[in-house]
Amino acid sequence: MSTIRPPTMCGRFKPGHTPHWIQINKALNDSEREPSPGLFIQSRNDGTLVIEVNGQELLLWNHKPERMVEAVLAGGRSISYQPRWGLL
């Protein structure tokens, strides 16, 4: 079983940073645009994350890519992507 580091706050709430609880709440309750399932492909040294959603490869950026990799691998490489609210 892997260990996922706890999040650290950097004070920014833009996509790729630690999300604000309001952003998370809005995403969870968005019945018009539900998250799309996908697959984690790769994490690059510059913080770029490569994911596949609906057969399309997307490039995202993450402030703490090492932590994101820990979380994704703990879940078996499956992800959910909510582009409207900037959440992976």
Would the pLDDT of 7 be above 70? no
Instruction: Tell me the pTM.
Output: 0.76
Structure tokens at 36: 């799309």
pLDDT, tens digit, 9 for 90 and up, residues 62-73: 888 888 888 888
Which residues touch 24 (CB under 8 Å, ≥6 apart)? 85, 87
Give DSSP secondary structure letters for 15-34: TTSPPPHHHHHHHHT-SSSP
Residue spans per domain, the chain: 39-88
